[in-house]
Amino acid sequence: MKYLHTMVRVTNLDDSIDFYCNKLGLTLLKRNDYERGRFTLVYLCAPGDDSAQLELTYNWDPETYPMGRAFGHVAYQVEDIYATCEQLRQSGVTINRPPRDGYMAFVRSPDNVSIELLQAGGPLPPCEPWASMPNIGTW
Amino acid sequence: MKYLHTMVRVTNLDDSIDFYCNKLGLTLLKRNDYERGRFTLVYLCAPGDDSAQLELTYNWDPETYPMGRAFGHVAYQVEDIYATCEQLRQSGVTINRPPRDGYMAFVRSPDNVSIELLQAGGPLPPCEPWASMPNIGTW
């Protein structure tokens, strides 16, 4: 038995690929367009690790996707949580839960999927501007 | 960067551990009870592969967890999809999407989380009773 992927539905594929790939730094592994079913599947992974993937489902006919509450988040470990958050912030992504503790941060995708970022190897020393940055919204 | 886990909230920890571990066959890696925050986190993984985990959050104070529609499912590859589905069925789990094609099945957790099962290495030859088994509900 092996974990393959977590699937989330997205309302705009370009916005999602921009967020997950250009801003968060995931790799786009493949994209399959299904003309008959009128949907597209996109598979993403952390760079160099395609064993655990994120599957984006884009239905060509518009729908709304309420987030609900059963699903919580998808979590990724990062090499330098400050660098990752700075890159996200500079690209316009709100850091909902800044890494005040040098360890944990949360952001949201364009469709409101909560993404947890955790520092590899445990907390870094607290560092400004993160240490005194307030939370924004929920995650 | 590395995928760590997908988190889902559960309303009953015993029922969830029974489903995910005893019925689906995941391994319970660790359980942390947080007295102050009044919640418990449980980490599960496919047997022998703790690199990609499922995190269950159990809040001690009851809540309801609507499923929403943004989150789709969590997918696992299995060695023998017929054996896995038979084991699930015998333990009382509804096979919402039976593996008619020898390749793909869907079940749901006690909290309605959709779980996709995919046959390792591609489809097995069609096989009864699965080949003629109808869908039940949605997934």
State the complex-level ipTM. Answer: 0.96
pLDDT tens readout for residues A95-132: 999 999 999 999 999 999 999 999 999 999 999 999 99
The arithmetic mean of pLDDT across residues B7-20, rounded, is 98
Please, what CATH class does the domain formed by B72-139 belong to?
alpha beta
The arithmetic mean of pLDDT across residues A28-56, rounded, is 97
Rounded distance, CA B18 to CA B82, Å? 20
pLDDT at A107: 98
Q: In which band, very low, low, confident or very high, does the pLDDT at B37 lie, cut at 50, 70 and 90? A: very high
Q: In which band, very low, low, confident or very high, does the pLDDT at A35 lie, cut at 50, 70 and 90? A: very high
Q: In which band, very low, low, confident or very high, does the pLDDT at A81 lie, cut at 50, 70 and 90? A: very high
Q: In which band, very low, low, confident or very high, does the pLDDT at B71 lie, cut at 50, 70 and 90? A: very high
Is the dihedral angle over the CA atoms A131, A137, B4, B8 positive or is it negative?
A: positive
State whether residue B55 sits within 8 Å of chain A by CB: yes
pLDDT at A72: 97
For domain A72-133, the question of CATH label 3.10.180.10 is answered with yes
Rounded distance, CA B76 to CA B68, Å? 21
The arithmetic mean of pLDDT across residues A13-26, rounded, is 98
| Length of chain A in terms of residues written | 139
Pick from B51, B57, B63: CB nearest A72: B57
CA nearest to B35, candidates B55, B16, B60, B10:
B60
Q: Are B76 and A2 in contact, with CB atoms under 8 Å apart? A: yes
Instruction: Give percent of chain A with pLDDT exceeding 70.
Output: 100
Q: What is the DSSP code string of A52-111?
A: EEEEEEEESS-------SSEEEEEEEES-HHHHHHHHHHTT---SB--TTSSEEEEE-TT
pLDDT at A90: 97
pLDDT at A40: 98
pLDDT tens readout for residues B75-96: 999 999 999 999 999 999 999 9
What's the maximum distance between 2 C-alpha atoms anywhere in chain B? 53
pLDDT at B120: 98
CATH topology for A1-62 is 2,3-Dihydroxybiphenyl 1,2-Dioxygenase; domain 1 (3.10.180)
pLDDT at A93: 98
Q: In which band, very low, low, confident or very high, does the pLDDT at B131 lie, cut at 50, 70 and 90? A: very high
Pick from B52, B71, B116: CB nearest A68: B71
Best residue in B16, B57, B71 for a mutation probing chain A (most A CBs within 10 Å): B71
Q: Where do the domains of chain B lie?
A: 1-61, 72-139
State whether residue A8 sits within 8 Å of chain B by CB: yes
pLDDT tens readout for residues B104-121: 999 999 999 999 999 999
Q: Are B3 and A55 in contact, with CB atoms under 8 Å apart? A: no
CATH topology for B1-61 is 2,3-Dihydroxybiphenyl 1,2-Dioxygenase; domain 1 (3.10.180)
Contacts of B135 (CB under 8 A, 6+ apart): B96, B97, B98
Domains B1-61 and B72-139 share a fold: yes
C-alpha distances (whole Å) from A135 to each of A34, A96, A139, B33, B47 are 40, 5, 10, 25, 37
Average pLDDT over chain B, rounded to whole? 97
User: Counting runs of H as helices and runs of E as strands, what totals does chain B give?
Assistant: 2, 7
CB contact under 8 A, A7 and B118: no
Over its C-alpha atoms, chain A yields an Rg (Å, rounded) of 16
Place of tokens 């793909």: B104
Chain A residues whose CB is inside 8 A of the B70 CB are 8-9, 65-68, 71, 111-113
pLDDT at A120: 97
C-alpha distances (whole Å) from B107 to each of A63, A117, B43, B49 are 24, 29, 20, 21
Catalytic residues of B: 116
